[in-house]
Amino acid sequence: MTPKQYARLRREVLGRDGWRCQMCGCSQTLDVHHMRRRGALGDDAETNLITLCRECHQLLHGFARWEISRNCSDADEGTS
């Protein structure tokens, strides 16, 4: 997939997910995550991709450190 094709796919996934993290609702520092990783034969199909904020993405991959703080102050309050 070319960088231009990936950028278009990324925008499509972000738009589909309402430009919000699908775990916490944050709308800042958004990443597109492969639900089934490429190394496990996951592909770049839209059905295999989900929008996550950087913090949730790191938590999901086990990269969380105690210093990671909530930077998503615009997440909807009271929606847990």
So what's the pLDDT on residue 30? 97
Distance CA 69, CA 55 (A): 8
The Cα 19–Cα 51 span in angstroms is: 8
14-45 pLDDT per residue, tens? 999 999 999 999 999 999 998 877 666 667 88
* Predicted model pTM: 0.72
* Residue predicted with more confidence, 60 or 27: 27
Is residue 39 assigned to a domain? Answer: yes
Residue whose pair of structure tokens reads 């990936």 in the numeric block = 6
What domain range is 27 assigned to? Answer: 3-60
Cα(7)–Cα(25) distance, rounded to whole angstroms? 22
Q: What percent of the chain has pLDDT over 70?
A: 70
The confidence band for 61, taking pLDDT boundaries of 50, 70 and 90, is confident
Classify residue 74: in a domain, yes or no: no
How many domains would you assign to the chain? 1
Residue 41 lies in a domain: yes
The pLDDT score that the predictor gives to residue 44 is: 83
Question: Is residue 45 a part of any domain in this protein?
Answer: yes
